[in-house]
Structure 1
């Protein structure tokens, strides 16, 4: 089982727009990551996002680049300060590959908790539009399969 943890793309400031949509850079960076991921031919059961506009836009862009069984949908428990424990329980028994699009500090705490059992250590630097792929072994342990951020990809 794989889970793809994705931080939303760069968003407008709340002073600019209270809805905080993706900026031009945020959209372009997410499209660049999506294009690369598209070449990997990923199959994902579902993409779930926090419901915040920037996460929804990121999820929609990525959803166009992967093979989806169930589509893109809002899910509870993915906002910045949500408790990671419900997702740890869900992911520990999940049999389907999921992509979760959310926010900091939630994503960092979830990745740390899955990998180390503690939410405290910083495991990955989730820049905007970063995707962290975690894979679960048959024994239930998690490991980092790969990490991709726009900075790692060539400019187009």
Structure 2
């Protein structure tokens, strides 16, 4: 059982898509990562997203691949500049929840969970990348990451 954090897929440039939905490359990379995660047997019980178009589209691709029939839900207070302590203190490692959000929020959340502070950064997210976190007696730790660019 774990918690999965995802940075939304690569979005369109602001001029092409004022609402900044996913680019074609963003859709492709998100689907590729979701398929790899499914191949490894990743199980998700619920997916949450920020409500921004690019995060919602990423969450939908993850849901269709990892848990068909499950509808992602919008979650408040996970926008790029929101305080991470609220969600950080509510996360349950046995939930198998996935949260799709934005930078710098996601990087600050991982730092807060693993060190108790939002800085310094302990992990560099990639668009469409998944970070799996778990908890033991000593606290939260990064179990694994799955990213589209490994070089």
- The alignment status of 1:107 with 2:79, answered yes or no, reads no
SS of residue paired to 1:44: coil
Aligned to 1:60: 60
Correspondence 1:33-112 to 2 at 5 A: 33-67=33-67, 71-91=71-91, 93=92, 95-112=94-111
Shift in Å, 1:71: 3.4
User: Normalised by the size of structure 2, how large is the TM-score?
Assistant: 0.92
TM-fit CA distance, 1:145: 0.6
C-alpha distance in 1 between matches for 2:43 and 2:68: 6
Residue 147 of structure 1 is aligned with which of 140, 145, 148? 145
SS in 2 for 1:43: coil
TM-score, normalised on structure 1? Answer: 0.90
Runs of 4+ in 1 over 6 A off after TM superposition: none
Alpha-carbon shift at residue 122 of structure 1 (Å): 1.2
Provide the aligned length of Structure 1 versus Structure 2: 151
| Alpha carbons 1:135, 1:142 under 8 Å: kept | yes
The two structures, once aligned, show a CA RMSD in angstroms of 1.8
Query: 5+ unaligned residues in a row in structure 1: which ranges?
Result: none
